[in-house]
C-alpha cells in the first residue's frame, strides 16, 4: 500500500474532473459538497451546489436561512435530514466557533450530520490532515486491491482499511498531498474502480498493486451481504384542486418524509367509492372526481404503491394550505412527480 500515492497522485493530477468545489476548496464549500455527494452523482450535484452556494455563500447565511427557502434549495436531492443537519451544524458553528468550521476531524465529528467519512474528507482536503475518508468507494477499492473476500459491511474490514490508509497518509505521502490522496481515491472509485462486474482495470493507475485484477476476480468484489427487501406500503393520495390551486399538508414530525409538505394521504388502497368518502372525512368538500391512477415510488427502505385520487374540491380542511402550481413549496419527489 505504501506505493499507492506514487501511482495514484500523478493520475489524479491529470484526470481529476473539474468541479466547482475543487476549484475553491474552502471548508464550507467542501462540507456542503460532501453532504450533497453522499447520495447523488457528482454531475447532478454541480447545479445544486452552484445554486446553493450562490444563495447561501457563508456559514452565517446558511444558519439564518428560513426553512422554506432551505428546503427549496435542496428540492430534488432528497434525504432532507441532510440539509436540516447542515443548518443545525451551521447554527452551532456560528454560536460556538465564530462562524468557521473546526479544523480537527474529532471536533468536526461532534457536529450533526458529520460522520467519520465527512470529517476525514474536510480535514484532509482543507487542512492536509492525516485523516482518510473511508466510504463505499474506498472500501470497494481496498477490497479489490487486497482481494479481500470479507463482506465490506464487516466492521473489522472497515477498521483495517482505515488503519492501513492512515499509515499511508502518515508515512508515505509528501507534505501537502493528503487532500489530493483523499480526492484521488474518491475519483478512482467513481470513474475507474466502479461498482459492478466490470471495473475499468485496463485504464487503472493502481493495477500493478491490485490482487483482484491479477487473479481476475475484480468483478466479484466487494462481497456484499444481500440487503433486506424493501418494505411494501400501499398509500391512497389525494391531489385536490381548489380554485386553480393545489391543497398540501405538512407531514407529521415522525416517519418517512417527516415535516415536509406533501399531498394528503392515507395508508392502504381504498375502493373508488370509499375514496370520495375518505376525502370528505379528511375535510374536503368534493365537487367532482377527475381520475384515479396508480404510481410507484421507491425510497431506500420502502416501496410505495400509490393510488392517486385527483379531485376538484370547493373547500379544504384546516390542516391543508392552497398553493398555486407555479409557487409550490419544496416537495419530496414522491409527491412532486404526481403533481
Ligand atoms: Fe479496481 Fe481494477 Fe483498479 Fe483493481 S485494477 S483497483 S479492480 S479498477
pLDDT in tens, 159-202: 999 999 999 999 999 889 999 999 999 999 999 999 999 999 99
Rounded Cα–Cα distance for residues 82 and 63 (Å): 14
Q: Helix H segments across the chain?
A: 4-15, 20-23, 27-37, 42-55, 59-64, 67-74, 81-97, 105-109, 116-127, 136-145, 155-171, 178-191, 211-214, 272-282, 333-336
Is 203 within a domain? yes
Å from CA of 201 to ligand 1 middle:
5
Of 154, 187, 220, the last residue of a domain is 220
Best of 137, 141, 222 for a ligand 1 pocket test (most atoms within 8 Å of beta carbon): 141
Residue 90 has pLDDT above 90, yes or no: yes
Residue 326 has pLDDT above 90, yes or no: yes
Kindly state whether residues 204 and 257 are assigned to the same domain.
no
Max distance between CA atoms of the chain, in angstroms, equals 73
Is 259 within a domain? yes
Is 225 within a domain? no
Kindly state whether residues 238 and 291 are assigned to the same domain.
yes
- The pTM of this model reads 0.88
Of 220, 251, 279, the last residue of a domain is 220
Is 10 within a domain? yes
Of 195, 220, 245, the last residue of a domain is 220
Kindly state whether residues 197 and 236 are assigned to the same domain.
no
Kindly state whether residues 305 and 256 are assigned to the same domain.
yes
Domain of residue 173: give its range.
4-220
Q: Is 134 in the pocket of ligand 1 (CB under 6 A)?
A: no
Quickly count: other Cβ atoms within 10 Å of residue 272's Cβ: 10
Residue 79 has pLDDT above 90, yes or no: no
Q: Is 288 exposed, middle or buried (0-12, 13-18, 19+ CB in 10 A)?
A: exposed
User: Which among 34, 75, 233, 234 is annotated as catalytic?
Assistant: 34
Range 57-66 average pLDDT: 98
Is 226 within a domain? no
Q: Is 242 in the pocket of ligand 1 (CB under 6 A)?
A: no
Is 91 within a domain? yes
Is 159 within a domain? yes
Give pLDDT tens digits for 24-33: 999 999 999 9
* 34 part of the active site: yes
Kindly state whether residues 215 and 264 are assigned to the same domain.
no
| pLDDT band at residue 89 using 50, 70 and 90 as cut-offs | very high
Could you tell me the CATH number of the domain that includes residue 306?
Answer: 3.90.79.10
Residue 74 has pLDDT above 90, yes or no: yes
Could you tell me the CATH number of the domain that includes residue 185?
Answer: 1.10.340.30
Q: Is 145 in the pocket of ligand 1 (CB under 6 A)?
A: yes
Residue 306 has pLDDT above 90, yes or no: yes
Kindly state whether residues 308 and 204 are assigned to the same domain.
no
Q: Is 141 in the pocket of ligand 1 (CB under 6 A)?
A: yes
Q: Is 193 in the pocket of ligand 1 (CB under 6 A)?
A: yes
Kindly state whether residues 194 and 239 are assigned to the same domain.
no
Give pLDDT tens digits for 109-165: 999 999 999 999 999 999 999 999 999 999 999 999 999 999 988 899 999 999 999
pLDDT for residue 248: 98
Residue 226 has pLDDT above 90, yes or no: no
Q: Is 330 in the pocket of ligand 1 (CB under 6 A)?
A: no
| Nearest-atom index, ligand 1, CA of 199 | 8
Number of domains observed in the structure of the chain = 2
Å from CA of 46 to ligand 1 middle:
27
Å from CA of 90 to ligand 1 middle:
38
Rounded Cα–Cα distance for residues 65 and 261 (Å): 18
pLDDT for residue 327: 95
Rounded Cα–Cα distance for residues 263 and 304 (Å): 14
Kindly state whether residues 216 and 111 are assigned to the same domain.
yes
| pLDDT band at residue 228 using 50, 70 and 90 as cut-offs | confident
Residue owning the nearest CA to atom 4 of ligand 1? 210
Kindly state whether residues 148 and 203 are assigned to the same domain.
yes
Q: To 5 degrees, how large is the angle CA 112–CA 113–CA 115?
A: 105
Residue owning the nearest CA to atom 7 of ligand 1? 218
**Residue-wise over 198-231: b if at least 16 C-beta within 10 A, else e?**
ebebeebbbbebbebbeeeebeebbeeeeeeeee
Q: What is the Cα Rg of the chain in Å?
A: 24
Kindly state whether residues 200 and 90 are assigned to the same domain.
yes
Rounded Cα–Cα distance for residues 306 and 145 (Å): 44
Amino acid at each position: 500500500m505504501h506505493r499507492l500515492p506514487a501511482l495514484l497522485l500523478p493520475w489524479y493530477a491529470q484526470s481529476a474532473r473539474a468541479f466547482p468545489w475543487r476549484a475553491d476548496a474552502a471548508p464550507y464549500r467542501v462540507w456542503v459538497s460532501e453532504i450533497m455527494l453522499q447520495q447523488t452523482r457528482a454531475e447532478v450535484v454541480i447545479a445544486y451546489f452552484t445554486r446553493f452556494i450562490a444563495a447561501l455563500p457563508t456559514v452565517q447565511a446558511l444558519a439564518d436561512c428560513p426553512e422554506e427557502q432551505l428546503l427549496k434549495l435542496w428540492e430534488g436531492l432528497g434525504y432532507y435530514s441532510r440539509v436540516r443537519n447542515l443548518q443545525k451544524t451551521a447554527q452551532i458553528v456560528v454560536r460556538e466557533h465564530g462562524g468557521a468550521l473546526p479544523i480537527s476531524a474529532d471536533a468536526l465529528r461532534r457536529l450533526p450530520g458529520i460522520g467519520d467519512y465527512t470529517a476525514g474528507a474536510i480535514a484532509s482536503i482543507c487542512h492536509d490532515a492525516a485523516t482518510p475518508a473511508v466510504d463505499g468507494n474506498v472500501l470497494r477499492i481496498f477490497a479489490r486491491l487486497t482481494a479481500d473476500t470479507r463482506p465490506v459491511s464487516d466492521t473489522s474490514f472497515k477498521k483495517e482499511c482505515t488503519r492501513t490508509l492512515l499509515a499511508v497518509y502518515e508515512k508515505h505521502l509528501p507534505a501537502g498531498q493528503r487532500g489530493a490522496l483523499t480526492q484521488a481515491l474518491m475519483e478512482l472509485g467513481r470513474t475507474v474502480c466502479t461498482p459492478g462486474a466490470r471495473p475499468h482495470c485496463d485504464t487503472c493507475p493502481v493495477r500493478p498493486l491490485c490482487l483482484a485484477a491479477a487473479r481476475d476476480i475484480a468483478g466479484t468484489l466487494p462481497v456484499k451481504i444481500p440487503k433486506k427487501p424493501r418494505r411494501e406500503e400501499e398509500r391512497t393520495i389525494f391531489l385536490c384542486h381548489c380554485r386553480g390551486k393545489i391543497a398540501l399538508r405538512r407531514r407529521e414530525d415522525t416517519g418517512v418524509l417527516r415535516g415536509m409538505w406533501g399531498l394528503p394521504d392515507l395508508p392502504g388502497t381504498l375502493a373508488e367509492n370509499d375514496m370520495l368518502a375518505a376525502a370528505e372525512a379528511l375535510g374536503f368538500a368534493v365537487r367532482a372526481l377527475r381520475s384515479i391512477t396508480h404510481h410507484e415510488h421507491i425510497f431506500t427502505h420502502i416501496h410505495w404503491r400509490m393510488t392517486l385520487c385527483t379531485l376538484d374540491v370547493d373547500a379544504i380542511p384546516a390542516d391543508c394550505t392552497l398553493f398555486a402550481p407555479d409557487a409550490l413549496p419544496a416537495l419530496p419527489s414522491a409527491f412532486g412527480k404526481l403533481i
